Amino acid sequence: MIFRAPLSLPAARYRAHRARIDEAVANVFHSGRFILGDQTAAFENEFAAFVGTAQCIGVASGTDALELCLRACDLGPGDAVLTVAHTAVATVAAIERAGATPVLVDVDSSTFTMEPNRLLDTIQEYDHCTRTAKLPKLKAIIPVHLYGHPADMPSILSIARARRLQVIEDCAQSHGASLRDRLTGSWGNLAAFSFYPTKNLGAFGDGGAVVTNNPRLAENVRALREYGWRTTRYVSELRGINSRLDELQAATLRVLLPGLAKENSERRKLAGDYGRLLATTSLTLPQAGTNVLHAFHQYVIRSPARDALRQFLEVRGIATQVHYPVPIHRQPAYRQRLFIARAGLPNTEVAARQVLSLPMSPYLKQEQVRQICSVIREALEGS
Ligand X SMILES: *Cc1c(COP(=O)(O)O)cnc(C)c1O
Give the residue nearest to ligand X (CB).
62
Q: Are 171 and 113 in contact (CB under 8 A)?
A: no
Q: What residues does 331 pair with on adjacent strands?
A: none
> Does residue 200 touch ligand X according to CB under 6 A?
no
**Per CB under 6 A, 144 contacts ligand X:** yes
Candidate list 73, 75, 82, 88; residue touching ligand X; CB under 6 A:
88
Residue 170 near ligand X by CB under 6 A: yes
Contact 189, 195 (CB under 8 A): no
For the bound state, the minimum distance from the C-beta of residue 238 to ligand X, rounded and expressed in Å, comes to: 22
Q: How many residues bind ligand X (CB under 6 A)?
A: 15
From the list 55, 91, 184, 298, which residue makes contact with ligand X (rule: CB under 6 A)?
A: 91
* 69 touching ligand X, by CB under 6 A: no
d(CA 292, CA 287): 10
CA distance 324 to 263: 24
**Closest distance of CB 112 from ligand X, Å:** 11
Buried b (16+ CB within 10 A) or exposed e, 11-43: eebbeebeeebeebbeebeeeeeeebbebbeeb
Q: Does 212 bind ligand X (CB under 6 A)?
A: no
Residue 249 interacts with ligand X (CB under 6 A): yes or no:
no
Q: Which is nearer to ligand X, 107 or 172 (CB)?
A: 172
Q: How far is the CB of 257 from ligand X (least distance, A)?
A: 17
Q: How far is Cα of residue 285 from the mean position of the Cα atoms in its chain?
A: 20
90 binds ligand X (CB under 6 A): yes
Stretch that binds ligand X, among 22-30, 47-55, 58-66, 308-316 (CB under 6 A): 58-66
DSSP 3-state assignment of 93? Answer: helix
68 touching ligand X, by CB under 6 A: no
In order of 105, 305, 337, 377, the CA distances from 275 in angstroms are: 29, 19, 40, 13
Nearer Cβ to ligand X (144/288): 144
